[in-house]
Structure 1
Amino acid sequence: MNTLPGVILAGGLATRMGGGDKALLALGGRPLLAHVIDRLAPQVGDIALNANGDAARFADFGLPVLPDSIAGYPGPLAGVLAAMDWAATLGADRVVTVAADTPFFPADLVARLQAAAGDPPLVLAATKGDAKTRSKSRSGLIRHPTFGLWPVALREDLRAAVTEGLSKVVLWTERFDGREALFPSEGHDPFFNVNTPDDLIRAEGML
Protein backbone atom coordinates (compact mmCIF):
# COMPACT_ATOMS: atom_id res chain seq x y z
CA MET A 1 0.00 0.00 0.00
CA ASN A 2 1.11 3.55 -0.72
CA THR A 3 1.96 5.42 2.48
CA LEU A 4 0.96 8.74 0.93
CA PRO A 5 -2.09 10.16 2.77
CA GLY A 6 -5.26 11.00 0.88
CA VAL A 7 -8.07 13.43 1.63
CA ILE A 8 -11.58 13.39 0.17
CA LEU A 9 -12.90 16.93 -0.37
CA ALA A 10 -16.56 17.26 0.65
CA GLY A 11 -16.62 20.78 2.03
CA GLY A 12 -18.73 22.41 -0.69
CA LEU A 13 -22.32 23.64 -0.50
CA ALA A 14 -23.80 21.40 -3.25
CA THR A 15 -25.99 24.24 -4.50
CA ARG A 16 -26.77 22.57 -7.82
CA MET A 17 -28.02 19.51 -5.95
CA GLY A 18 -30.26 21.65 -3.76
CA GLY A 19 -27.88 21.77 -0.80
CA GLY A 20 -27.01 19.09 1.74
CA ASP A 21 -24.32 16.45 1.50
CA LYS A 22 -23.72 15.08 -1.98
CA ALA A 23 -21.34 12.58 -0.44
CA LEU A 24 -24.23 10.91 1.38
CA LEU A 25 -26.49 10.53 -1.66
CA ALA A 26 -27.32 6.93 -2.54
CA LEU A 27 -25.62 5.48 -5.60
CA GLY A 28 -26.27 1.81 -6.26
CA GLY A 29 -27.70 1.43 -2.77
CA ARG A 30 -24.58 2.85 -1.07
CA PRO A 31 -23.52 6.40 -0.21
CA LEU A 32 -21.56 8.15 -2.93
CA LEU A 33 -18.77 8.61 -0.41
CA ALA A 34 -18.44 4.84 0.01
CA HIS A 35 -17.67 4.47 -3.69
CA VAL A 36 -15.04 7.21 -3.48
CA ILE A 37 -13.40 5.56 -0.45
CA ASP A 38 -13.31 2.22 -2.26
CA ARG A 39 -11.59 3.89 -5.20
CA LEU A 40 -9.04 5.75 -3.11
CA ALA A 41 -8.16 3.22 -0.39
CA PRO A 42 -5.95 0.93 -2.54
CA GLN A 43 -3.95 3.94 -3.73
CA VAL A 44 -3.02 5.65 -0.44
CA GLY A 45 -2.27 5.04 3.21
CA ASP A 46 -4.28 7.07 5.72
CA ILE A 47 -7.52 8.69 4.52
CA ALA A 48 -9.40 11.67 5.93
CA LEU A 49 -12.49 13.61 4.91
CA ASN A 50 -12.63 17.38 4.52
CA ALA A 51 -16.15 18.46 5.52
CA ASN A 52 -17.76 21.28 7.44
CA GLY A 53 -20.58 21.19 9.99
CA ASP A 54 -21.41 18.34 12.34
CA ALA A 55 -18.81 15.61 11.85
CA ALA A 56 -21.10 13.02 13.46
CA ARG A 57 -23.04 12.57 10.21
CA PHE A 58 -19.97 10.84 8.76
CA ALA A 59 -19.31 8.64 11.80
CA ASP A 60 -20.22 5.41 9.98
CA PHE A 61 -17.23 5.82 7.65
CA GLY A 62 -14.64 5.82 10.44
CA LEU A 63 -12.55 8.62 8.93
CA PRO A 64 -11.04 11.69 10.56
CA VAL A 65 -13.15 14.70 9.56
CA LEU A 66 -11.19 17.85 8.77
CA PRO A 67 -13.15 21.13 8.70
CA ASP A 68 -11.89 24.13 6.78
CA SER A 69 -9.60 26.20 8.97
CA ILE A 70 -10.80 29.37 7.22
CA ALA A 71 -14.46 30.30 7.70
CA GLY A 72 -16.98 31.23 5.05
CA TYR A 73 -16.67 28.30 2.60
CA PRO A 74 -13.87 29.96 0.62
CA GLY A 75 -13.72 27.09 -1.89
CA PRO A 76 -11.70 23.95 -2.58
CA LEU A 77 -8.38 25.58 -1.71
CA ALA A 78 -9.53 25.68 1.92
CA GLY A 79 -10.06 21.92 1.74
CA VAL A 80 -6.63 21.47 0.21
CA LEU A 81 -5.15 23.52 3.04
CA ALA A 82 -6.92 21.34 5.61
CA ALA A 83 -5.49 18.29 3.84
CA MET A 84 -1.97 19.71 3.92
CA ASP A 85 -2.24 20.62 7.60
CA TRP A 86 -3.43 17.09 8.43
CA ALA A 87 -0.66 15.51 6.35
CA ALA A 88 1.87 17.59 8.28
CA THR A 89 0.66 16.05 11.55
CA LEU A 90 1.37 12.62 10.04
CA GLY A 91 4.90 13.64 9.08
CA ALA A 92 4.09 13.39 5.36
CA ASP A 93 5.71 15.75 2.85
CA ARG A 94 2.82 15.58 0.37
CA VAL A 95 -0.86 14.66 0.21
CA VAL A 96 -3.34 13.65 -2.49
CA THR A 97 -6.86 15.06 -2.73
CA VAL A 98 -9.91 13.73 -4.57
CA ALA A 99 -13.49 14.98 -4.85
CA ALA A 100 -16.31 13.35 -2.89
CA ASP A 101 -18.70 13.57 -5.84
CA THR A 102 -16.52 11.76 -8.41
CA PRO A 103 -17.00 8.01 -7.96
CA PHE A 104 -15.21 6.74 -11.07
CA PHE A 105 -11.86 8.53 -10.91
CA PRO A 106 -8.85 6.57 -12.23
CA ALA A 107 -7.56 3.58 -10.30
CA ASP A 108 -4.03 4.78 -11.10
CA LEU A 109 -4.64 8.37 -10.07
CA VAL A 110 -1.99 8.51 -7.36
CA ALA A 111 0.65 6.68 -9.41
CA ARG A 112 0.24 9.09 -12.32
CA LEU A 113 0.26 12.16 -10.09
CA GLN A 114 3.46 11.00 -8.39
CA ALA A 115 5.10 10.16 -11.72
CA ALA A 116 4.46 13.70 -12.97
CA ALA A 117 5.79 15.40 -9.83
CA GLY A 118 8.64 17.87 -10.04
CA ASP A 119 10.09 20.27 -7.48
CA PRO A 120 7.89 21.23 -5.74
CA PRO A 121 5.72 18.11 -6.11
CA LEU A 122 2.63 20.08 -7.13
CA VAL A 123 0.50 18.29 -9.74
CA LEU A 124 -3.10 18.50 -10.97
CA ALA A 125 -4.94 15.79 -12.88
CA ALA A 126 -5.73 16.77 -16.47
CA THR A 127 -7.51 15.44 -19.54
CA LYS A 128 -7.79 16.48 -23.15
CA GLY A 129 -10.91 18.41 -24.18
CA ASP A 130 -12.63 20.17 -27.04
CA ALA A 131 -11.87 23.68 -28.20
CA LYS A 132 -14.90 25.14 -26.40
CA THR A 133 -13.62 24.28 -22.95
CA ARG A 134 -12.82 27.47 -21.03
CA SER A 135 -10.82 25.88 -18.21
CA LYS A 136 -7.88 24.81 -20.35
CA SER A 137 -4.34 25.37 -19.19
CA ARG A 138 -1.56 26.87 -21.28
CA SER A 139 -0.75 23.34 -22.43
CA GLY A 140 -4.26 22.97 -23.84
CA LEU A 141 -5.37 20.42 -21.24
CA ILE A 142 -8.40 20.57 -18.95
CA ARG A 143 -7.31 20.62 -15.32
CA HIS A 144 -9.32 18.92 -12.58
CA PRO A 145 -8.29 21.02 -9.58
CA THR A 146 -9.76 18.91 -6.79
CA PHE A 147 -7.60 15.99 -7.92
CA GLY A 148 -4.06 16.87 -7.06
CA LEU A 149 -0.76 16.15 -5.35
CA TRP A 150 0.15 18.87 -2.88
CA PRO A 151 3.50 19.59 -1.15
CA VAL A 152 3.05 20.18 2.57
CA ALA A 153 5.94 22.66 2.54
CA LEU A 154 3.74 25.18 0.69
CA ARG A 155 0.90 25.19 3.18
CA GLU A 156 1.73 28.54 4.79
CA ASP A 157 1.84 30.19 1.39
CA LEU A 158 -1.54 28.63 0.60
CA ARG A 159 -2.94 29.74 3.96
CA ALA A 160 -1.94 33.33 3.21
CA ALA A 161 -3.39 33.15 -0.30
CA VAL A 162 -6.77 31.82 0.88
CA THR A 163 -6.89 34.33 3.73
CA GLU A 164 -6.32 37.09 1.19
CA GLY A 165 -9.31 35.87 -0.82
CA LEU A 166 -7.82 33.64 -3.51
CA SER A 167 -10.33 30.94 -4.41
CA LYS A 168 -9.32 29.59 -7.82
CA VAL A 169 -7.05 26.58 -7.47
CA VAL A 170 -5.17 27.00 -10.75
CA LEU A 171 -4.22 30.60 -9.96
CA TRP A 172 -2.34 29.32 -6.95
CA THR A 173 -0.75 26.29 -8.62
CA GLU A 174 0.48 28.45 -11.49
CA ARG A 175 2.49 30.53 -9.02
CA PHE A 176 4.71 27.49 -8.55
CA ASP A 177 4.60 26.18 -12.13
CA GLY A 178 2.44 23.28 -11.02
CA ARG A 179 2.56 20.30 -13.36
CA GLU A 180 -0.22 18.29 -14.98
CA ALA A 181 -0.71 14.52 -15.05
CA LEU A 182 -2.55 13.52 -18.23
CA PHE A 183 -5.25 10.87 -17.95
CA PRO A 184 -6.88 9.14 -20.94
CA SER A 185 -10.41 10.33 -21.62
CA GLU A 186 -11.27 8.89 -25.02
CA GLY A 187 -14.89 7.75 -24.96
CA HIS A 188 -15.44 8.60 -21.30
CA ASP A 189 -14.77 11.24 -18.67
CA PRO A 190 -12.71 9.70 -15.85
CA PHE A 191 -13.53 12.71 -13.67
CA PHE A 192 -17.29 12.71 -14.21
CA ASN A 193 -18.82 14.24 -11.10
CA VAL A 194 -22.31 14.27 -9.65
CA ASN A 195 -23.51 17.88 -9.59
CA THR A 196 -27.22 17.57 -10.35
CA PRO A 197 -30.03 15.02 -9.93
CA ASP A 198 -29.62 14.13 -13.63
CA ASP A 199 -25.93 13.42 -13.02
CA LEU A 200 -26.89 11.02 -10.25
CA ILE A 201 -29.17 9.15 -12.65
CA ARG A 202 -26.35 9.00 -15.17
CA ALA A 203 -23.97 7.67 -12.51
CA GLU A 204 -26.44 4.88 -11.71
CA GLY A 205 -26.21 3.82 -15.33
CA MET A 206 -22.42 3.89 -15.21
CA LEU A 207 -22.13 1.51 -12.25
Structure 2
Amino acid sequence: MQRLPRPSREQITGLVLAGGRGTRMGGVDKGLQPLHGEPLAAHVLTRLAPQTGALLISANRHADIYAALGAPFGAKVVADTLPEFPGPLAGLLAGLRAVRSDYLLSAPCDSPWLPADLAARLADALASNSADIATVTTCDAGGKRSLHPVFALLHTRLTDDLADFLQAGERKVRAWYARHKTVEVAFADERAFYNINSLQELADLERHRGPG
Protein backbone atom coordinates (compact mmCIF):
# COMPACT_ATOMS: atom_id res chain seq x y z
CA MET A 1 0.00 0.00 0.00
CA GLN A 2 1.38 3.40 -0.97
CA ARG A 3 1.66 5.77 1.96
CA LEU A 4 -0.17 9.07 1.52
CA PRO A 5 1.45 12.34 2.57
CA ARG A 6 1.19 12.85 6.32
CA PRO A 7 -1.04 15.81 7.28
CA SER A 8 1.02 18.64 8.72
CA ARG A 9 -0.02 20.66 11.74
CA GLU A 10 -1.05 23.56 9.48
CA GLN A 11 -3.34 21.23 7.50
CA ILE A 12 -5.27 20.23 10.64
CA THR A 13 -7.97 22.31 12.33
CA GLY A 14 -8.86 21.36 15.89
CA LEU A 15 -12.51 21.14 16.96
CA VAL A 16 -13.68 21.09 20.58
CA LEU A 17 -17.12 19.45 20.77
CA ALA A 18 -19.11 21.38 23.37
CA GLY A 19 -22.57 21.39 21.82
CA GLY A 20 -24.34 18.70 23.85
CA ARG A 21 -27.24 18.98 26.28
CA GLY A 22 -25.18 17.93 29.32
CA THR A 23 -28.04 15.69 30.44
CA ARG A 24 -25.87 13.60 32.76
CA MET A 25 -24.80 16.84 34.44
CA GLY A 26 -28.34 18.02 34.99
CA GLY A 27 -28.50 20.06 31.79
CA VAL A 28 -25.60 22.41 32.54
CA ASP A 29 -23.25 23.48 29.76
CA LYS A 30 -20.53 20.89 30.36
CA GLY A 31 -17.69 22.70 28.62
CA LEU A 32 -18.07 25.70 30.92
CA GLN A 33 -17.89 23.78 34.20
CA PRO A 34 -14.70 24.67 36.12
CA LEU A 35 -11.84 22.29 36.87
CA HIS A 36 -8.82 23.67 38.73
CA GLY A 37 -9.99 27.21 38.05
CA GLU A 38 -10.53 26.84 34.30
CA PRO A 39 -13.56 25.71 32.27
CA LEU A 40 -13.28 22.17 30.94
CA ALA A 41 -13.26 23.43 27.36
CA ALA A 42 -10.28 25.68 28.16
CA HIS A 43 -8.26 22.65 29.27
CA VAL A 44 -9.02 20.94 25.96
CA LEU A 45 -8.17 24.05 23.94
CA THR A 46 -4.84 24.30 25.76
CA ARG A 47 -4.04 20.69 24.88
CA LEU A 48 -5.12 20.97 21.24
CA ALA A 49 -3.59 24.35 20.38
CA PRO A 50 0.04 23.15 20.03
CA GLN A 51 -1.08 20.23 17.87
CA THR A 52 -3.18 22.00 15.22
CA GLY A 53 -3.29 25.07 13.05
CA ALA A 54 -6.66 26.78 13.48
CA LEU A 55 -9.16 25.96 16.24
CA LEU A 56 -12.95 25.80 16.40
CA ILE A 57 -15.45 25.30 19.21
CA SER A 58 -18.76 23.56 18.51
CA ALA A 59 -21.30 25.11 20.90
CA ASN A 60 -25.07 25.54 20.84
CA ARG A 61 -25.39 27.64 23.99
CA HIS A 62 -23.49 30.57 25.49
CA ALA A 63 -21.76 31.38 22.21
CA ASP A 64 -20.48 34.67 23.60
CA ILE A 65 -18.81 32.96 26.56
CA TYR A 66 -17.20 30.35 24.32
CA ALA A 67 -16.05 33.10 21.94
CA ALA A 68 -14.29 34.84 24.82
CA LEU A 69 -12.87 31.52 26.01
CA GLY A 70 -11.52 30.74 22.55
CA ALA A 71 -10.18 34.21 21.79
CA PRO A 72 -6.68 33.66 23.27
CA PHE A 73 -6.35 30.61 21.00
CA GLY A 74 -7.84 32.28 17.94
CA ALA A 75 -10.72 29.80 18.12
CA LYS A 76 -14.05 30.56 16.45
CA VAL A 77 -17.43 29.24 17.60
CA VAL A 78 -19.69 27.24 15.29
CA ALA A 79 -23.22 26.01 16.00
CA ASP A 80 -25.18 22.99 14.76
CA THR A 81 -27.27 23.57 11.66
CA LEU A 82 -29.63 20.77 12.71
CA PRO A 83 -32.23 21.32 15.46
CA GLU A 84 -32.61 19.69 18.88
CA PHE A 85 -29.01 18.75 19.73
CA PRO A 86 -28.77 15.70 17.44
CA GLY A 87 -25.40 14.58 18.80
CA PRO A 88 -21.65 14.83 18.14
CA LEU A 89 -21.94 14.17 14.41
CA ALA A 90 -23.89 17.42 14.05
CA GLY A 91 -21.06 19.26 15.77
CA LEU A 92 -18.58 17.49 13.54
CA LEU A 93 -20.53 18.58 10.47
CA ALA A 94 -20.60 22.20 11.66
CA GLY A 95 -16.84 22.01 12.09
CA LEU A 96 -16.27 20.43 8.69
CA ARG A 97 -18.32 23.16 7.04
CA ALA A 98 -16.31 25.89 8.76
CA VAL A 99 -12.75 24.68 8.22
CA ARG A 100 -10.36 26.03 5.64
CA SER A 101 -7.89 23.18 6.07
CA ASP A 102 -7.86 19.68 4.61
CA TYR A 103 -8.28 17.85 7.93
CA LEU A 104 -10.30 18.20 11.12
CA LEU A 105 -9.28 16.83 14.53
CA SER A 106 -12.17 16.52 16.98
CA ALA A 107 -12.07 16.12 20.75
CA PRO A 108 -14.85 16.34 23.38
CA CYS A 109 -14.91 19.22 25.83
CA ASP A 110 -15.01 16.89 28.85
CA SER A 111 -11.61 15.17 28.38
CA PRO A 112 -9.12 17.65 29.82
CA TRP A 113 -6.09 15.32 29.74
CA LEU A 114 -5.98 14.35 26.07
CA PRO A 115 -2.50 13.35 24.84
CA ALA A 116 0.03 15.85 23.54
CA ASP A 117 0.73 13.48 20.62
CA LEU A 118 -2.91 12.89 19.64
CA ALA A 119 -2.73 14.73 16.32
CA ALA A 120 0.69 13.32 15.39
CA ARG A 121 -0.24 9.70 15.99
CA LEU A 122 -3.60 9.95 14.24
CA ALA A 123 -1.97 11.74 11.30
CA ASP A 124 0.66 8.99 10.98
CA ALA A 125 -2.03 6.30 11.03
CA LEU A 126 -4.23 8.12 8.53
CA ALA A 127 -1.35 8.47 6.08
CA SER A 128 0.19 5.01 6.45
CA ASN A 129 -3.19 3.28 6.05
CA SER A 130 -4.52 5.59 3.32
CA ALA A 131 -7.57 6.00 5.54
CA ASP A 132 -10.36 8.59 5.63
CA ILE A 133 -10.74 8.61 9.42
CA ALA A 134 -8.39 7.81 12.31
CA THR A 135 -9.82 7.32 15.79
CA VAL A 136 -8.71 6.11 19.23
CA THR A 137 -8.82 2.85 21.18
CA THR A 138 -7.50 2.04 24.66
CA CYS A 139 -7.33 -1.00 26.94
CA ASP A 140 -7.91 -0.99 30.68
CA ALA A 141 -5.87 -2.93 33.23
CA GLY A 142 -8.00 -6.01 32.60
CA GLY A 143 -7.44 -5.91 28.87
CA LYS A 144 -10.90 -4.60 28.01
CA ARG A 145 -10.75 -2.60 24.80
CA SER A 146 -12.64 0.68 24.45
CA LEU A 147 -13.26 2.83 21.40
CA HIS A 148 -13.27 6.61 21.80
CA PRO A 149 -14.90 7.65 18.52
CA VAL A 150 -15.30 11.38 19.16
CA PHE A 151 -11.51 11.66 19.19
CA ALA A 152 -10.97 11.57 15.45
CA LEU A 153 -8.92 12.96 12.60
CA LEU A 154 -10.72 13.04 9.26
CA HIS A 155 -10.48 14.54 5.80
CA THR A 156 -12.84 17.39 4.93
CA ARG A 157 -13.87 15.63 1.73
CA LEU A 158 -16.28 13.62 3.90
CA THR A 159 -18.43 16.70 4.60
CA ASP A 160 -21.15 16.03 2.03
CA ASP A 161 -21.45 12.36 2.96
CA LEU A 162 -21.88 13.26 6.62
CA ALA A 163 -24.54 15.82 5.73
CA ASP A 164 -26.44 13.17 3.74
CA PHE A 165 -26.10 10.67 6.61
CA LEU A 166 -27.58 13.11 9.12
CA GLN A 167 -30.27 14.27 6.72
CA ALA A 168 -31.41 10.64 6.49
CA GLY A 169 -32.03 10.70 10.24
CA GLU A 170 -28.93 8.72 11.21
CA ARG A 171 -27.07 9.77 14.37
CA LYS A 172 -24.61 7.01 15.38
CA VAL A 173 -20.95 7.90 15.10
CA ARG A 174 -19.74 4.32 14.60
CA ALA A 175 -22.33 3.69 11.88
CA TRP A 176 -21.04 6.66 9.92
CA TYR A 177 -17.42 5.62 10.39
CA ALA A 178 -18.33 2.20 9.00
CA ARG A 179 -19.15 3.85 5.66
CA HIS A 180 -15.51 4.93 5.28
CA LYS A 181 -12.04 3.53 5.64
CA THR A 182 -11.35 4.00 9.33
CA VAL A 183 -8.20 3.11 11.24
CA GLU A 184 -8.15 2.67 15.01
CA VAL A 185 -5.04 3.83 16.85
CA ALA A 186 -4.21 2.18 20.19
CA PHE A 187 -3.08 4.48 22.99
CA ALA A 188 -1.55 2.94 26.11
CA ASP A 189 -2.78 5.51 28.64
CA GLU A 190 -6.54 5.17 28.90
CA ARG A 191 -6.59 7.89 31.57
CA ALA A 192 -5.71 10.48 28.94
CA PHE A 193 -9.14 9.91 27.39
CA TYR A 194 -11.07 10.01 30.65
CA ASN A 195 -14.27 11.98 30.19
CA ILE A 196 -16.19 13.68 32.99
CA ASN A 197 -19.86 12.74 32.95
CA SER A 198 -21.28 14.06 36.22
CA LEU A 199 -20.92 16.96 38.61
CA GLN A 200 -19.89 14.47 41.29
CA GLU A 201 -17.04 13.19 39.11
CA LEU A 202 -16.01 16.78 38.51
CA ALA A 203 -16.04 17.52 42.23
CA ASP A 204 -13.99 14.40 42.95
CA LEU A 205 -11.42 15.29 40.28
CA GLU A 206 -11.12 18.83 41.59
CA ARG A 207 -9.00 17.33 44.35
CA HIS A 208 -6.53 15.80 41.87
CA ARG A 209 -4.35 16.90 38.96
CA GLY A 210 -5.36 14.03 36.73
CA PRO A 211 -7.88 11.21 36.43
CA GLY A 212 -7.94 8.24 38.73
TM-score between the two structures when normalised by the length of structure 2:
0.85
Aligned counterpart, 1:25: 33
Aligned counterpart, 2:79: 67
Aligned AA for 2:160?
E
Q: How many equivalent pairs are there?
A: 195
- The reply on whether 1:128 has 2:139 as its aligned counterpart is yes
- The reply on whether 1:115 has 2:115 as its aligned counterpart is no
For 2:25 and 2:191, the matched residues in 1 are separated by: 20
Q: 1:194 aligns with which of 191, 196, 205?
A: 196
Contact 2:17–2:106 under 8 Å retained in 1: yes
Aligned counterpart, 1:11: 19
Contact 2:114–2:192 under 8 Å retained in 1: yes
For 1:48 and 1:184, the matched residues in 2 are separated by: 27
**Structure 1: 5+ residue runs without aligned partners?**
134-140
TM-score between the two structures when normalised by the length of structure 1:
0.87
For 1:180 and 1:114, the matched residues in 2 are separated by: 12
For 2:157 and 2:109, the matched residues in 1 are separated by: 25
For 2:186 and 2:98, the matched residues in 1 are separated by: 27
Q: Go from structure 1 to structure 2 and tell me whether the alpha carbon gap of 1:106 and 1:144 turns closer, same or farther (over 3 Å shift).
A: same
1:3-46: per-residue Cα shift (whole Å, max 9, x none)?
Answer: 11101000100001011211111111111121111111111111
For 1:119 and 1:129, the matched residues in 2 are separated by: 28
**Structure 2: 5+ residue runs without aligned partners?**
1-7
- The reply on whether 1:163 has 2:174 as its aligned counterpart is no
1:161-196: per-residue Cα shift (whole Å, max 9, x none)?
Answer: 0111111111111111311111113xx522111110
For 2:97 and 2:170, the matched residues in 1 are separated by: 18
For 2:131 and 2:114, the matched residues in 1 are separated by: 24
SS in 1 for 2:123: helix
Contact 1:94–1:121 under 8 Å retained in 2: no
Identity among equivalent positions (%) equals 36
For 1:14 and 1:35, the matched residues in 2 are separated by: 18
Question: C-alpha displacement at 1:126, in angstroms?
Answer: 1.2
Aligned counterpart, 1:97: 106
Question: C-alpha displacement at 1:129, in angstroms?
Answer: 4.2
Contact 1:13–1:20 under 8 Å retained in 2: yes
**Structure 1 vs Structure 2 CA RMSD:** 1.9
For 1:126 and 1:82, the matched residues in 2 are separated by: 25
Q: 1:179 aligns with which of 183, 189, 197?
A: 183
